[in-house]
Structure 1
């Protein structure tokens, strides 16, 4: 029988899981550890859902999938073998995954997961301009392989396709200006002034990055029309390097796989000194997601737009205390 896992080890695993990205850094997850079974249960936290910008909870599932991948990496680093099941109890829709932390004697470690561990704390979203420098072809291939290993596809769109995606982002921005109430989620999850220094969730003003004076990089302006001191404006890339993460289907299980694939790609990119940012702005309505697909193949469901490049990494954003997201029973 495998020895009991101590509470400190489990807390460390969950702390690293929660370093994952999530929409507006809402951190829409909860964890429960069943100590007798060495089982970590991952739940969605509906109080952190976004009814206006994520009405079907697609982005919520993607964020939880990213946290699940970090948990797997952290477990391997701790000398454990994570055996994962998605959506293990159909009658409990908030229960998204179960991870059995088994004895490594049962099967070998995944060395590739262990290798990614240092990137968990290094990865931060960058909302700054990137250099006008191509991502090497072999690096693109490595990132595509990362997505494929988690059941997803990473596509680097050609010039025409990329311009279409950027048009969709601009259309989404225009929609936000015109539609009443659409910015309620963004306002709820941004932290301005003194609140930015004490927040445990959301996007603090120091992570907004500069305002975009020019350029085509798809960077959401979290400030909107609200003033932010010492922010400044600058020119971003005119030819941003984009990648589209897709899954074969568009179900909750696909969204969880997309989140795991996304985090594997982001951690690998971080180890390669690539700065990254994400946008789902043009994907918040299913009809727009269909328009973002590869015009050649026309298959799959685009779940996330990534922006990759060489530039400053963004600052660390706040995280909730582990005690607030973990129950041990």
Structure 2
């Protein structure tokens, strides 16, 4: 067959139809953009079924979210425990267990940890501090003062014992912070271009709390430099297979996962606009690699691109467990105060996670010196960090475990 004949034969032979490409969450998020600026029109077979499975029409509702609206209805000290369960904590692991009689004992749950990402447990212990702060504030609304005894016995998992005594009635400020417990959510969405003044930022911190403090980064050039460092740290995390796998293990892909675990990170909490969230939840689940790419893109194009300022909780020594708890208390207080002020707050610990990971692996320290240069304190004094600003949209709640799931039965009297 000559070349001319072969060409004629090929043109005469019918071509098979091109295979249909089924959209995935990744392709939809890429097509419409993180901010939802473009429009994608597609027909998706089985959209109703997948939408139901993935919780399109019941986001933020049902039993995994009931505690947010009902925590004050629990009897006696159980309401204070409920407030603790609603506290900020790393990756929504909810690393706590409580024992309740005439006092409240707080234990670390050994099964709820991230030994690769949080190998030194700074975030896990800080999360317990967040719970303690919520519980102290909740107790004040009941005219109770709290005494906190840290590590009251030889059990290293027995982190704290809270005892209560009658006190004066709550102040207006304490009531406002308690009301914010049910409204405080991590806001991973975009923030507006409105700046935050030094006075506004200073108003978010209490007068004194066990020698810990907040370093604010609000200078535009420093904000830009710190944002670039966050993106680099995020890329390093997703490039580390062990960290990537561990992080993805706490992602709850659909409503079945949410109902089963009542913890972890969800699509609802990624700060997406309504249309993007709808499409992402009606299409097939994304893979770990897709999730990693999305996180890097969001960190670069949304989180750091729209941050008005950053805050770093600083303590004299991040290796000191008690200082970690005090730092967690301050972090929770700042988040509640930001909520009362209508501000969004997003916990971002990629830099410290990579510093810790590099040290554990005996890799060169790529971040400490640059981080310290930006925030103005030694890296070993920076406990946890976050971005803050005026949110462009309201955040969704995260799932929480039921009180029976976090309460260990005791023989004491429940008040």
Scaled to the shorter chain, the TM-score interval is 0.7 to 0.9
Q: Deviations over 1:239-294 (max 9, x none)?
A: 52211111111111111111100000000110011111111111113454564335
2:395 aligned with 1:314? yes
CA distance in 2, matches of 1:54, 1:255: 13
Instruction: Structure 1: give runs of 5+ residues left out of the alignment.
Output: 1-6, 212-220
How far 1:81 sits from its partner (Å)?
A: 1.3
How far 1:123 sits from its partner (Å)?
A: 0.5
Structure 1's 101 and 290: CA in aligned 2 closer, same or farther, altered over 3 A? farther
Partner of 2:215: 155
Structure having the higher strand fraction is 1
CA distance in 2, matches of 1:295, 1:310: 23
Structure having the higher helix fraction is 2
Q: Among 97, 107, 111, which residue is 1:30 paired with?
A: 97
SS of 2:335's equivalent? helix
2:378 aligned with 1:302? no
Partner of 2:182: 121
Q: Which has the larger radius of gyration?
A: 2
Q: Deviations over 1:224-248 (max 9, x none)?
A: 51499xxx98953635221111111
CA distance in 2, matches of 1:194, 1:124: 19
Partner of 1:97: 160
Partner of 1:85: 149
2:371 aligned with 1:292? yes
Q: Among 238, 262, 265, which residue is 1:200 paired with?
A: 262
What is the TM-score of this pair, normalised by structure 1? 0.83
Larger relative contact order (CA 8 Å, sep ≥ 6): 2
SS of 2:262's equivalent? coil
Partner of 2:240: 179
How far 1:295 sits from its partner (Å)?
A: 5.1
CA distance in 1, matches of 2:117, 2:145: 36
Contact 1:190–1:222 (CA under 8 A) maintained in structure 2: no
SS of 1:129's equivalent? coil
Q: Among 341, 346, 349, which residue is 1:277 paired with?
A: 346
Query: Structure 1 stretch 253-262 or stretch 130-139: which is displaced more?
Result: 130-139
SS of 1:256's equivalent? helix
What is the TM-score of this pair, normalised by structure 2? 0.67
Contact 1:196–1:205 (CA under 8 A) maintained in structure 2: no
Q: Among 228, 239, 249, which residue is 2:317 paired with?
A: 249
Instruction: Structure 2: give runs of 5+ residues left out of the alignment.
Output: 1-73, 274-285, 357-364, 411-415
The list of structure 1 runs, each at least 4 consecutive aligned residues, that deviate by more than 6 angstroms after superposition, is: none
| Count of aligned residue pairs for this structure pair | 303
Contact 1:161–1:294 (CA under 8 A) maintained in structure 2: no
Contact 2:345–2:388 (CA under 8 A) maintained in structure 1: yes
SS of 1:156's equivalent? strand
Contact 1:22–1:64 (CA under 8 A) maintained in structure 2: yes
Query: Structure 1 stretch 296-305 or stretch 245-254: which is displaced more?
Result: 296-305
